[in-house]
Amino acid sequence: MADAKEPSQPKTPSKGIYLLPNLFTTAAMFAGFYAVVAAIDGKYDASAIAVFIAIVMDGLDGRVARKTGTVTDFGKEYDSLSDMVSFGLAPALVVYQWGVERLTEYGVAWGRLGWLAAFFFAVAAALRLARFNARYTVADKRYFEGLPSPSGAALVSGLVWLGTELGFDGIFALSAAFFITAAAGGLMVSSFPYYSFKEFNLGQKVPFAKLLMIPMIFMIIAINPPLILFLMFLGYAMSGPLVWLWRRLRRRSQTARPEDREPEPSEPPPEQGETGASIKPFRRKG
């Protein structure tokens, strides 16, 4: 009689991690950390550029992981922590060092509001990332709920880069930094829909004419990188409230149109014969 086979032991998960996607995640975190160091040293243009480099690296790590089949829970958690550093703390500290801190020159109240706005942006980024991770499996992949944290970081860092290049100063420029930082934080924790561009497949074939759009985009950005990038992300940030308002107005107009309303129940029409004359029901006399 053959010996009975022993029950197989459950396989223990591998303790190793995939190197390639985590290299991009580490590069994104390094860029965010460098942005803080550069802002402390007063190199605000370099700090803003570092945040944009972190955005590129963050976009690559997820795509590389999916293409190579190396998506892991460790990579997702590591990516969230990296995003908090690069797109939460780094932009908040950069904009604080650049202009929000100088609001104290116009009064103690302005100074307190300034660092509170920077803190609000950081905590909004943390809440945005936590909500995204909690609802990732049930969310509509076509849209983000709230402004993505990389876009919020690009909006704030783009303002710093543009302000440094143009020499923005004074209460107007500092107030703009305060309001844009606070608004970006509010949009991140909002429920406004933002198109995710996840349906855009880089591996699909496109007509040759569409291929020319890629160098055209780079040429437009190269004309004035700080201005063009800031306007691009400002337009994307405004797209969420505008789409929400358009949907609300469209829904209200549809409910207001009488032809869109459901008809009220009424008595059925009398039956008709072959000649079209109505047939009266036969009643027996007597």
Phi then psi dihedrals of residue 122, to 5 deg: -65, -45
Our CA angle for 251, 257, 260, nearest 5°, is 85
pLDDT per position as a tens digit, 145-170: 899 999 999 999 999 999 988 888 77
Residue 145 in 3-state DSSP?
strand
The mean pLDDT of the chain is 82
Where are the alpha helices (H) located in the chain, listed in sequence order?
A: 19-40, 44-68, 73-84, 90-98, 108-134, 149-166, 170-188, 208-211, 213-223, 225-256
pLDDT of residue 24: 94
pLDDT of residue 64: 86
pLDDT of residue 188: 95
pLDDT of residue 257: 64
User: Which run of H or E residues covers position 140?
Assistant: none
pLDDT of residue 7: 52
> Does residue 177 have a pLDDT over 70?
yes
Name every residue whose Cβ is closer than 8 Å to that of residue 285 and which is 6 or more positions away in sequence. Answer: none
pLDDT per position as a tens digit, 102-152: 777 777 777 778 888 899 999 999 999 999 888 876 666 788 889 999 999
List the domain boundaries for the chain.
Answer: 19-199+223-254
Quote the CA–CA distance of 51 and 29 in Å, as a whole number: 10
> Does residue 171 have a pLDDT over 60?
yes
Phi then psi dihedrals of residue 14, to 5 deg: -65, 140
Greatest pairwise CA separation for the chain in angstroms: 110
> Does residue 282 have a pLDDT over 50?
no
Q: Is 219 exposed, middle or buried (0-12, 13-18, 19+ CB in 10 A)?
A: exposed
Interval 215-234 mean pLDDT: 92
pLDDT of residue 210: 73
Token duo for residue 72: 């892991």
Token duo for residue 172: 């107007």
Q: Does domain 19-199+223-254 have CATH number 1.20.120.1760?
A: yes
Phi then psi dihedrals of residue 87, to 5 deg: -115, 0
Q: What is the pTM of this model?
A: 0.79
**What's 258's DSSP letter?**
G
> Does residue 276 have a pLDDT over 50?
no
Percent of the chain with pLDDT over 70: 79
Count of alpha carbons within 13 angstroms of residue 217, beta-carbon side: 7
pLDDT per position as a tens digit, 57-85: 998 988 888 888 888 888 889 999 999 99
Nearest to 93 by CA among 111, 109, 114: 114
